[in-house]
Each structure stands twice: as structure tokens, then as C-alpha cells.
Structure 1
């Protein structure tokens, strides 16, 4: 059973260093090498929803980070998607867990600490400086009408 909890905070309260940081990926469809769905035996074909799912998965921007084992995991997940669309709802729980590991939804990518950046922005998303903070004593002085430092 999966553990529940909050997603990682941008401002952690403890002083321990993070084990890993955000991975920024260019927000452009992946067009590199990806495996095809394997041929099925006989006259049976993949369900059209499974084929649509596979085309969406193999074009996700963060697929450029995947290794051969990640692609194998995705292919094995495609078999569960096929079973789900062929009226086997008992695979839904496993399918949900595997979808989270693949980072299929925005929430899943947040938990995996993957974010997309527009191509023109490059790595600037990761390098953004925090907004300037106004000191409270200066604000209190202005509100009190005392302009002298």
C-alpha cells in the first residue's frame, strides 16, 4: 500500500540538504528513439485507447531521461492499459501506481521533482532568483510617517 503524504516543499523547514534537486526538462515533445508496441499474435490488435495512450506516453518531454529499463517498464504498463480497456478493471490499482512512477500527470511529476521549461527559457527556471523582501522595520517607519532613517 502506498504511503500518503505531501509533495516536497520548495522551502523545507529542516536544515538537512536535499538528497536530490529538481530536474528541468525542455517542454517539447520527445521525438527520439522509443520502442513500438510489440506485435500481438493472431488477428488481435492493440485496443485503440492503448495505442493512443502509448503515443501520448512516448512523446512526453521527460522521456528523454529514460533508459532501456524505463522503456521496458512503460511497455509492461501498456499491457496493463490493454487489460484495463479489455474489461479487466482489477488492474486499475496497479495501473495507477505505475502511471505515477512514469510521471504521467502533473502531480506525479511534482512528486518526482520533474518540471518542464519552455524552450526559449532554457534553464532559467531553475536559476530564478527569489523575489526581494521588504524589511518590516522600514515598512513600519513608512506607515508611521517617519521618513528619517
Structure 2
């Protein structure tokens, strides 16, 4: 029955208006090339010594350079990942307290299938691998078995198999 109940709130007083209250900032995209792992010195005692990257961290760094995600990294992404490489190096030198921070940082880049799902990343290569034909390149079941016909070995009674 129309007219029953309280009157609707004025638009300015409604709790939900289903729109963003903060406007979105659109940035100009600039892809950046991956930097090399830098050479630098660290303090050890009272002297400066050359820092040596663990081989495992060098392999890890190359993995990120070669990853599909890196096509979408800007300069600030590479700088953040470079700082993350230092954490990776700490972990591979035996500092296990670095593991949690490393896990959080690489998750932001889509390191695992779960991270990529959360970030809504998918691999496009799977869609284009068949050239858009929807086929794997192997003969289809129809092509492989299209000429096969059922064998009928004479008449048999319903429910019994022919011999």
C-alpha cells in the first residue's frame, strides 16, 4: 500500500550512494627496464666491505626480470623489488626472520598462483597458444575416431550381448 512507512531520506543524507567518495587518480604509464643488482659496500665492524649478492638472489632477480609481470613494472616497482632483493639476500644468508617480510613483498607482485588470483592476473598465452582455433594442434576425437562404427555381431535378444 503506497504511502505507508517513513518518507525516504533526502539524497544528501543517505548512507549508501554506491559511488566512490574519493575520486580516482589516473597516472601516465611508463614501463621501466629492470636495473642490475648494484655493487655497494656495507659496514662490517669499523670498515666498509664489498657486499656480495648470494647466487640464489641473483637467480631470483633474473626470474623477476624474465617474468610476465615485469612487462607492467614501472620505476617505483623495480625500486621496491630491489629493496626486496636485499631481504631475499638476508634470508639466503640464514636470517630466517626475513621470511615473513619477503613473503608479503613478493605477494604484491603476484609470485604465487594464489597471489595472481588475488590480484586478478591471468596468463594470456594460454588463450593464444592455439592461434585462436580452440584446438591444441592434435587431431580431434572426430578425426581420430570418425570412421569407427559399432560392431553388430548378429541379432541378440534384448538385454543380452552379441557374441
So what's the TM-score if we normalise by structure 2? 0.52
Q: Which runs of 4+ in 1 moved over 6 A?
A: none
The equivalent residue for 2:66 is 59
SS in 1 for 2:123: strand
- Tell me, yes or no, if the aligned pair for 2:39 and 2:50 is still in contact at 8 Å: no
Unaligned runs of 5+ in 1: 1-15, 17-31, 126-149
The equivalent residue for 1:108 is 115
- Tell me, yes or no, if the aligned pair for 1:40 and 1:46 is still in contact at 8 Å: no
1:3-22 to 2 correspondence within 5 Å? none
Backbone CA RMSD of aligned residues:
2.7
The equivalent residue for 2:105 is 98
The equivalent residue for 2:36 is 36
| Structure 1 CA distance for aligned equivalents of residues 85 and 52 of structure 2 | 13
| Structure 1 CA distance for aligned equivalents of residues 69 and 109 of structure 2 | 9
- Residue 44 of structure 1 and its aligned partner are, at CA, apart by 3.7
- Tell me, yes or no, if the aligned pair for 1:57 and 1:104 is still in contact at 8 Å: no
So what's the TM-score if we normalise by structure 1? 0.57
The equivalent residue for 1:68 is 75
Structure (1 or 2) with the larger CA radius of gyration = 2
Number of aligned positions between the proteins = 95
- Residue 119 of structure 1 and its aligned partner are, at CA, apart by 7.6
